[in-house]
Structure 1
């Protein structure tokens, strides 16, 4: 066997000391804020940390369709709860599973770089726990970028993939020079980098709607309130967001998307007309031939008045 022509040194284990992760907040802290929070999650332990998994058994009692939903950067699984319920209203045989990505909701923050591989590990663990060998995958924003990488390398698992407002193709120019500089040169400025990324994701300082109590009591998921809860209650959350933004696949994934577009897996892209993160033209240019546009909607179209429309598009892919 020939030796490498250049010296090769594999990186050392990145877990610090005996501590493997930063713990997540308690379920009680979530239910104290959201009356209609998800049911008590199941906690999956691993060498990386703890993953919170939520199941929605099929309303019909017949588990005929397995559906895995992967949420986006900055909002936990609860943010896609309305979409999950809309999907089950269309398909009562759908058994839906959601989980909190590392550093979000009730999942802990592993003390490792948040590269796509650690999220693929989460998916494998969730599927293994559920004993699902195949599933329909629905990914939103960062979750869509994660779904592309996972399905590309594990095509035998994905029955179909729905990409909702996918990240992964975001132009770095949208971030602004300050954010780019802090991401590239954050030594000694980690706190500033975190603040800059969170501000960019929020479009400015986080503002909680004045009517949040009424909206929560009506069963609505208030995304701004969820993010404020994570910032206040989850000590690892801001660090996970920064690492995901820097190394998790928010941008620069064109080659993966292009290869995935050529794969035989059933797939659809769903984008919001007013979204700057991803457009129909971007997906078409990369080879996707089935892309739907939700009119007069922004990046948060998986919640609110457009949730039902998004669900109907995803359901069509399952049944075509």
Structure 2
């Protein structure tokens, strides 16, 4: 009997099922480790388990007690989910019915680091897991920086799950050619140079050495978010964090994603982009050129607008929800 399969498939073989090691993820620090450094001024997480690892989820119930607006916020690269707390609080001050969930992306905060490339689909999995945990079919998706890039592709592939998508200072439009030659080479091949690649990416993200404000303890005791202190704790206590950051930067659509943004701009979906006037990561003109028609600028703000200009960003987002 002759083989009638297409010739291109005759020698094709699907990969074998991955055999997970007994310890298939790098564990995150314990909650006790976090509170020993930062106290109990921040919301307590709940933990979701999966084959990829553990996801830490922070649920912020609606102040009114009526869960009428479901919101999932996806944080950026480097700072954990609690870095989005100032924006979440401002949104709930404007919308008493907003039920907001934030969660630590893989390798950040109290979420573990899976032993797999940190491509967008493993973060889509986290979004779906959070939606399932909350028993929500759809939600308003708000993504910041790296989280915005994740939200773009998530919406393209799962438009049915998004009531709206808001992109805040989105990453994804950086050009690799704009990186230093050393960083470009390390992104292409870091074999045997993992530590050097991690240092280069962290330095790029910080804009230089990490500097933690001297008054951070006083500020976090009162419930203020000090992003630099969170990042220092991650570097010191989360063994998987630096590896996740490198993999996310390299594999997670942080640069060269113009085509995805162009496709996203054409989706029949309520969309909003908010950019900072002083931000070099993304500009209004870039988004307009890609087909976006609803882009707001926060004047005198930089890439940290979700904390430095959280009240203004919240007003813009809330206005978009209610128009």
* Shorter-normalised TM range: over 0.9
TM-score of the aligned structures, taking structure 2 as reference length: 0.95
- What does residue 314 of structure 1 align with? 317
- Cα deviation code 1:187-236 (max 9, x no counterpart): 10001000110011111111111222232234321111110000001000
- What does residue 173 of structure 1 align with? 177
- What does residue 211 of structure 1 align with? 215
- What does residue 243 of structure 2 align with? 239
TM-score of the aligned structures, taking structure 1 as reference length: 0.96
1:76-155 equivalence runs, <5 A:
76-155=80-159
* CA distance in 1 between partners of 2:18 and 2:310 (Å): 40
* CA distance in 1 between partners of 2:14 and 2:242 (Å): 28
Residue 296 in structure 1 maps to residue 297 in structure 2: no
Residues 102 and 317 from structure 1, CA distance in 2 versus in 1: closer, same or farther, beyond 3 angstroms? same
Q: Which runs of 5+ in 2 are unaligned?
A: none
The answer to whether the 8 A contact 1:15-1:112 is kept is: no
* Equivalent residues, number: 319
The answer to whether the 8 A contact 2:72-2:140 is kept is: yes
* 1:269 partner SS: strand
The answer to whether the 8 A contact 1:58-1:88 is kept is: yes
1:29 shift after superposition: 1.6
* CA distance in 1 between partners of 2:14 and 2:232 (Å): 39
Work out which of the residue numbers 225, 228, 236 in structure 2 matches 1:224: 228
Residue 52 in structure 1 maps to residue 56 in structure 2: yes
Q: Which runs of 5+ in 1 are unaligned?
A: none
* CA distance in 2 between partners of 1:92 and 1:170 (Å): 36
* 2:151 partner SS: helix
Moved over 3 A (4+): 5-16, 35-38
* C-alpha RMSD of matched pairs (Å): 1.5
